[in-house]
Amino acid sequence: MKPTKSQWVAAGLLFVLALGLLAAGVWGFVLRGQPQTAEAMLRMRNYAVLRTAAGAIVNEIYLQAKLDARAYARAQKFSRNQITVYMDEQGELARKAAEEKYYNTRGIDRSELSAAVESFEHSLSGYARLEAAEKAAYAEVWREQQAALAAEGVSEEAAGAEGEAISEDAMMASAVQKVDYSGFVPSAELNALAESLTPAYDAMYGALEAALPDLEPEMKDKLRDPLIMVVRGGESGFNTEYDSYAVTGAQGAFEGAEKTRMIVTRQAANLIMLALGALIAALTVLYYRPLKRSLGMPRLVITAFFILLCILAALYNINVAGMFSTVLWRTGMYGVLALAMLPGIQAGISLNMGMTVGIIAGLISTLVALEHNMSSWGAFFFSVIGGILLAVPIGLLYGKLLNRLKGSEMTVSTYVGFSVVSLFCIAWMLLPFKNPKLTWALGSGLRTMHNMGDSFGQLLDRFLAFDVLGVHVPTGLLLFFLLCCFIMWLFSRSRTGIAMTAAGANHRFAEAAGVNVNNMRIIGTTISTVIAAVGIIVYSQSFGFMQLYNGPKQMGFVAASAILIGGATVTRAKVSHVIIGTFLFQGVLALGIQVANAAIAEGGLSEVMRILISNGIILYALTQSGGEGRG
């Protein structure tokens, strides 16, 4: 169907907008290499230094005004609430007056200050590099310690007071994103470099005192760290340097066309991302109907939302390349678990929410490997083969159960999955594992989480891994996922696979063609159970920890969300739905959390957003359970 006139107009406007944004972005990147931009950044740096020092004066005036106001209010016998209100009022009045006086630095001669700042920056560069290296080493040790504490169930904040396993989001939040440097101890070499900074800092502070006569000598020590943070901005890239100056209000160094030029230079990458978004929007508007017909509305909406999140991530200065690394990692980590939904749907048992019975089999085989201190590829293949051998009889029994309860498979499988997880919460306390790495230090039973680092943790992730354009590609992990998908694709085209798909699509037709529908349902359930056992092993090695007790409870919902968002329905699914759905679901989840935390100042929405996005897609799945979707 040809596009309508309104589609052509809207697409044309978006295309023109895309060209304009692209031209502005390219111009911004060209400006970064111009001498005038380098000179403007130096002025911005000097302005930021002055603003930081002036801010200390303003803060002192503000605090003194509040002290004077409190003394006056007490003398006048104000009430406690009146004292608080009066102090705040007088403090704010004093702050505004001080800002008007000291933040207006345009008439100050900055030639002497510029030379002093340049000298201090030169002395600071060596110190900054060594400090960054030492803090990076400290952070790595700190993260390992936090991960070990979480795995041993020591951290109640991470693991929960009731011993529930933590999610990978909670693990990353506690062990990656927020490093506590309170225990960092600088080396003797770093301390020596810090001492060598003193003469250069004193010279710069003297230049500041000349520029701001009200700057008191007592402020020198207080201002040292803030000024170091401003001056060392030049050690980073253009954007980081610009932002470190801008946070002090240093954009005031520019006016008119120069201000516009510097904003365009700073936002060059974001402008190109917006141009890409506008181009994609133009093509979507132009080819909306063919896209809707080929992809289906759910996938079209989710894909558009994913692209929007990528653009917003760039606008919020989120590392998009780093986020794509996370998306690829999560795709490989969850992919095999999502694949476990495929045979169940093809066989006609709908979404196999009871895949957790297979997950338990994979966990048991992995525990046996850890019990005997197995490691590397031997431990991985032992766990996979052991999980398959355990999952086959379990899947056969589970399939026979579902055959006796036809028509209620989703309800029964969900009940079975939750029941098995609850049952094994008791079993994990009774099974005869003796390795002290697995059991509680006090009492009996297995711990909630187990560190895979000493066995085969991230074995697949590191295999043939490489970086490209800032994106880390876990080659081994993705190859294993795609290998599993390829094997399932080959099986779907075998005689048994075709019969199983036919039995799931139309059991009456299949029976008339001589297919034993019950056997096909058992085969599909068994394969789903086996893939789930392998999937949890892949997930655990990639995550770096194996989770017991309530850890597997939600795995079925995550897998169902992924395959459904890829275009599958509860009656029809293909391998492509697994691959596309896992990538989109994990992409929306990872980027959505980061963008939401960046958009809302308070942050801390990781778990809330994870639940909202995941459960929202599950709700979509339930709305599809009564009819056919688009394949």
What pLDDT, in 10s, does the model give residues 372-390? Answer: 999 899 999 999 999 999 9
Q: What is the pLDDT of residue 174?
A: 42
**Confidence category of residue 364, pLDDT binned at 50, 70, 90:** very high
pLDDT of 625 over the 50 cut? no
pLDDT tops 80 at residue 154: no
Whether the per-residue pLDDT at 212 is higher than 90: the answer is no
pLDDT in tens, 161-170: 333 444 555 4
pLDDT band at 341 (very low <50, low <70, confident <90, very high): very high
pLDDT for position 156: 37
Task: Name the most confidently modeled range: 72-86, 301-315, 443-457.
Answer: 72-86
Tokens 């950044």 found at = 41
CB count within 10 Å of CB 532 equals 34
Q: What is the pLDDT of residue 387?
A: 94
Confidence of residue 460 (pLDDT cuts 50, 70, 90): very high
Q: Average of pLDDT values for 319-347?
A: 90
pLDDT, position 629: 40
What is the H or E stretch that residue 151 is in? helix 111-151
Pairing of strands 471-473, 449-451: unpaired
**Angle formed by the axes of helices 238-246 and 219-231, to 10°?**
150
Give the helix ranges, DSSP H, for 33-102.
Answer: 35-75, 80-102
pLDDT at residue 172 tops 60: no
Mean pLDDT over 37-63 rounds to 88
What pLDDT, on the 0 to 100 scale, is given for residue 176?
40
**Which residues, in sequence order, are CB contacts of 202 under 8 Å at separation 6+?**
220
Any idea of the CA torsion for 527, 528, 532, 533, to the nearest 10 degrees? -30
pLDDT tens-digit series, residues 223-272: 888 888 888 765 567 888 888 888 888 887 788 888 899 989 988 888 88
Which pLDDT belongs to residue 105? 67
What is the crossing angle of helices 606-624 and 575-599, to 10°? 140
Question: Cα separation of 223 and 60, whole Å?
Answer: 12
Percent of the chain with pLDDT over 70: 88
At residue 299, does pLDDT exceed 70?
A: yes
Express each pLDDT in 383-414 by its tens digit. 999 999 999 999 999 999 998 888 888 888 88
pLDDT in tens, 594-611: 887 777 755 555 566 666
Instruction: Please list the helix, strand and coil fractions of the chain in percent, rounded to the nearest 5, in that order.
Output: 75, 0, 20
Picking from 608, 618, 626, 607, the residue whose alpha carbon sits closest to that of residue 557 is 618
The pLDDT value given to residue 343: 93
At 72-126, the pLDDT tens digits run 999 988 898 999 999 999 999 999 998 888 887 666 766 788 888 888 888 888 8
Task: Please give the pLDDT value at position 622.
Answer: 55
Strands (E) in 438-543, as ranges, are 449-451, 466-468, 471-473
Which helix (H) or strand (E) is 536 found in, with range? Answer: helix 517-543
- What pLDDT is stored for residue 234 in this prediction? 59
Distance CA 205, CA 200 (A): 9
- Whether the Cβ atoms of residue 456 and residue 375 lie closer than 8 Å to each other: yes
Minimal CA–CA distance to 391: which of 419, 425, 352, 365? 365
pLDDT at 171: 47
Whole-number pLDDT of residue 126: 80
Quickly state the pLDDT bin for 620 (edges 50, 70, 90).
low
**Domain spans of the chain, in order of start:** 1-108+212-225+235-286, 121-203, 339-552
The tokens describing 232, both together, are 């060392």
- Residue showing tokens 């980073």: 236
Structure confidence at residue 329 as a pLDDT band (50, 70, 90): very high
pLDDT tens column, 505-540: 888 888 888 889 999 999 999 999 999 999 999 999
Mind listing the pLDDT tens digit for each residue in 130-153? 888 888 888 878 767 766 665 554
Q: How far apart are CA 564 and CA 92, in angstroms?
A: 56
The answer to whether 204 and 587 have CB atoms below 8 angstroms apart is no
Average pLDDT of the residues in 540-568: 87
Residue type, position 26, single letter: V
> What counts of helices (H) and strands (E) characterise the chain?
26, 4
Q: What is the pLDDT of residue 495?
A: 92
CA–CA–CA angle 109, 52, 248 (5° rounding): 105
Higher pLDDT, 623 or 488: 488
Average pLDDT, the chain: 83
